[in-house]
A and B are shown apart, each in its own frame.
Chain A
Amino acid sequence: MIALSVAALLAVFLLYTSIAGGGTASLQPSQLGGHFGNQVQLAGRVVGPVQREARTLRFGLRDVKGTAIVRVTYTGSVSDQFRPGRDVYLRGRLMHGVFVGEKDSLVTKCPSKYVAKPSSGGA
C-alpha cells in the first residue's frame, strides 16, 4: 500500500512537471520558426565558415538530415571536438534571425569509441 501510494504520487508529480510544460523544446534549425524569443535547445551539424572573435563564435548550424541552416552566435567554452561537420547542441533563443546561444551551453557530441560507420553518414 505504501509503495503504491508513493508511486502514484510520484507519477502524478512527474506527469504534471513534464506534460504541463516542463523541459526545454529540442529543435533542429528547420523547426525554429514559431519559437522566436523562446528558450530552446537547438541541435544540428556545424557548417563553416566558423568565425572566432575573442570568446565569441559565429557559425552555421543545419539539420542533421536536411538542408535548413540557421546562423549561430555563441560565447563561452568550446569543446576541442568542435569543428564543421560535428553534431552539436546548445541552448539559446532565436533573435532577429540569428540563434544566440547561452554562455557555456554548447555541447559537441563526443566521437565516442562507438563511432558511426561511414555509410551511416556520421561525422
Chain B
Amino acid sequence: MPELGRSALVVALGLAVYATFAGALAARRRKRRLAVSAQNALLAAFAATAVAAAVLVAALVRRDLSFVYVAQHISRELPLRYAITAFWGGQEGSLLLWLLVLTGLGAAAVAFGRRAGPDVIAWTVPVLGGVATFFALLVVAIESPFATQAAPPEGAGMTPSLQNPYMIAHPPMLYLGYVGLAIPWAFAMGALLARRADERWIVATRRWTLLAWAFLGVGQLLGAKWAYEEVGWGGYYAWDPVENAALMPWLAATAYLHSVMIQEKRGMLRVWNVVLVTLAFGLSLFGTFLTRSGVVNSIHAFAQGPIGVWFVGFIALVVAFSLYLLFTRLPLLRSRTRLESLVSREATFLYNNLLLVAFCLTILWGVLFPILSEAVRGETRTIGPGYYSFFLKSFGLPLLLLMGIGPLIAWRRASVKALGRTFLWPLAAAVAAGVVLLALGAGSSPLGLSAYTFCAFVLGSIALEFARGTRARRALGASSWRGAFAQLVAHNRRRYGGYVVHAAVVLLVIGVVGSSLFQTVREQSLRPGETMTAGDYTLVYRKLERRQAANAEQERAVLGVSRGGRDLGTIRSGKNLYPVEQQASNEVAIRSDPLTGEDLFVIADQIDTDGTVYFKVFVKPLVNLVWVAGLVFVLGALVAMWPDPREARRLATRAARPPAHARA
C-alpha cells in the first residue's frame, strides 16, 4: 500500500511538471492539441493525487501503524471520524491535501473557465502546473506521508481538545480557502502572459474567488467557535500569528472582490486588481509558511520541519514572477477611464480597498515585527493585542460606515442634494438607535455606542436598498411583493448576496462589540454552598461531582443559576483528565439565552482537593450573534455564487465585443 501511495505521488509530480512545461510550450507556440494535453495532465495529476489520498485514508481507517504518519497522529481507540481527520492532522497529510485541492480546483476551474478565452486558459494551465509541481515535490521528496516502519503496539493518539466536531471542518475549510486563492491568481498571471488584460479572467474566476473567500471566512469562524467552547479561556480570537495568518488573505480577498467590480463596471483599477490577487495568494502561502516555520511565537506549536526554507523560496518566486509580469504588461493595464469624483460609488470602493489593505498590512507588520525588530535592533520584540485592537478600531469603524454609504451613492458622481435624500432613512435609523442605546446605558463605552450607531446606519442602508429594488420590480409588473423581492434577488445575485454578507458583518460587529466592550468578568474562589454574582446572575456552588467516563476522569462543579430571583436551572463546569494521554482539558459551562444572544460562561479554573473551586465567570452580551453571523455569511455567499443563466448570457454577449470603456 505505501508503495502505491508513493508511486501515485511521483506520477502526480511528473504530470504537474508536464502540465507546466508542455503547457508553456503550447501557449507560446499556439499548439492547441499540446495545450489540451497539458490541461488533461492537470486533471490526471488530480486523479493520481486522489489515489495517494485514498491510500492514506485507508491506512488511517485500518489504523495501519506501520505508516509512520498514522502512528504519529492516531491511536487504535480513536473514533473513526477523528482517525480520518488525522489526514490533515500532520504536516505531510496537510501538504497532500493542499496538492489534492489545488489540482482538483485547478482542473475544474480550467475546464469551466472558457469565458477567460483559449489563450488565457492555455497560459493558466502551466501557472497552476508550476504551483502543483512545488507541492508535489514537497510530498515526494521532503515530507512524504508514506514513510514506513515496524508497526508499534500503539499510536501517539490525538490531543483531546482536538477531538471536537469543529476541528473536523475547520482545517479543511481553511485549506480550501488558501488553495482556492491560487485560482484567480493563476488566471491573472495567465491573462498577463497571454497579454489579455481585459476583464474576462475576472469574470471566469469570480465564483472560484467567492468560493475560496467564503471557505476562508467560515473556516475562521469555526476555529473561533472551537476556541470559545473547547479551549475555554473566555474568548474566541486572540490575535495569535496563526489566527492572523488566515485573516490576512481573507482581508486581501475581500478588497479584491470589491475592486474587481470597479474594473468590470468602469475598466479602472486593473493594476490594483493584479496586485490584490497576488497579495491574497502570497498571503495564503505566507500563512502556510508561518504555521510550519516556527519563526514567531504562537500559541499553536506546529512542527518546525525543513519546508520553511522551501516556502520562503517559493513565495519569493511567486512575488517576483507576479511583479515581473505586472511591470512588463503595465502599458496593457493602464485604465482608460479615470475617477470622476471623490464622492461616487467607485470612490467609496477605493476607500474601502485602502482601509482593508491598510488593515491587512498592519496585521502583517505585527506578525513580522519580531523578525524585523531582531534584524534592525538585534533584539526580538513582540506586539500585543493592544496594537491590533487599535488598528481594528481605526480601520474597522470607517470600513463599517463605508459599507452603509457605498450602496447608496451613485456611480461616477453624486450630488449633495441626492445624497441628503438617499441618506435620510439610514441616518434616521442610526440616530434612533443611538438615542435608544444611550437610554439603555450603552454610553459606558463610547466606542461601542459609535459601532452600534454605525451598524444601525448600515442595516438601514441595506433595508433601503432592498425596499427600493423591490418597489421598482413591483412597478415593472411583478404580481406580488414577495414575487418582486424574489425577482430582485434572482436578477442580481451578486449584488444582493453581497448585501446579505454586509448584514452578516454587521451582526458580527454587534456580537464582537457586545461580548468584548460590554462583557462582565468576575473571579472568585468558592466552597460548596457559597454564592457569587456576575452581572444579573447569581451562582450557587452546590457540589463537586467526580465520574469515570470511557477515556477520562470527569470533575464537574455543579452550580445553580438564577437571575432576578428566577431559577434558571443548573450548569456544570469542570475538567476532564485523560490518563492515557496524560492531559487535562477545561470543560466550560455555557448557558446561552436564545432571546438576547447572551452567554453565561463559567470556567472552573482551579479545582482543589478539598472541593474548593476558583471560578472565572463571564457574562457576554450578544456573543451568539457572532455565530449567527456565520450562517448569514454562508447564505449571502451562496446567493452571490449561485449560477444565473441570465448573467451567463449577458457576460457571453459582453465577452463577444470589446468593453464599453474601450470603445468610448
Contacts and interface: CB of A to CB of B under 8 A. Distances in A.
A113 B171 contact: yes
A113 B88 contact: yes
B365 A6 contact: no
Contact of B354 (A3, A26, A111): A3
Contacts of B171: 113
A22 B362 CA distance: 14
B381 interface: yes
Contact of A112 (B86, B300, B379): B300
Contacts of B233: 77, 79
Contact of B381 (A22, A55, A80, A108): A22
A52 B91 CA distance: 36
Nearest to A52: B606
Contacts, number: 133
A41 B354 contact: no
B354 A109 contact: no
Interface residues of A, number: 41
Contacts of A98: none
A114 B292 contact: yes
Nearest to B298: A109
B303 A110 contact: no
Nearest to A107: B299
What's the interface size class on B, roughly? 35 or more
A6 B72 contact: no
Interface in A2-32: 2-3, 6-7, 10, 14, 17-19, 22-27
Of A25, A83, A91, A112, most buried by chain B (CB within 10 Å of CB) is: A112
A112 B301 contact: yes
B258 to A, nearest CB: 14
B409 to A, nearest CB: 17
A120 B305 contact: yes
A95 interface: no
A114 B91 contact: yes
B373 A19 contact: yes
A116 B301 contact: yes
B444 interface: no
B78 interface: no
A51 interface: no
Nearest to B296: A26
A37 interface: no
A66 to B, nearest CB: 15
A2 B302 CA distance: 40
B553 to A, nearest CB: 13
Nearest to B302: A114
Contacts of A108: 299
A110 B300 CA distance: 5
Interface string A73-105: 000011111010001010100000000000000
B300 A77 contact: no
B142 to A, nearest CB: 13
A23 B298 CA distance: 16
B304 A116 contact: yes
Interface in A31-90: 41, 43, 55, 77-81, 83, 87, 89
B89 A2 contact: no
Nearest to A105: B384
B297 A89 contact: yes
A122 B303 contact: yes
A41 B382 contact: yes
A112 B304 CA distance: 12
Contact of A24 (B73, B231, B381): B381
A24 B382 contact: yes
Interface stretch (B128-136, B400-408, B582-590): B582-590
Contacts of B370: 23, 26
Contacts of B301: 87, 109-112, 114-116, 122-123
Contacts of A87: 301
20 contacts: A18-B381, A22-B369, A23-B383, A27-B379, A27-B380, A80-B585, A107-B299, A110-B159, A113-B73, A113-B86, A113-B88, A113-B162, A114-B91, A115-B159, A116-B301, A116-B303, A117-B72, A117-B305, A120-B303, A120-B304
Interface of A: 2-3, 6-7, 10, 14, 17-19, 22-27, 41, 43, 55, 77-81, 83, 87, 89, 91, 107-117, 120, 122-123
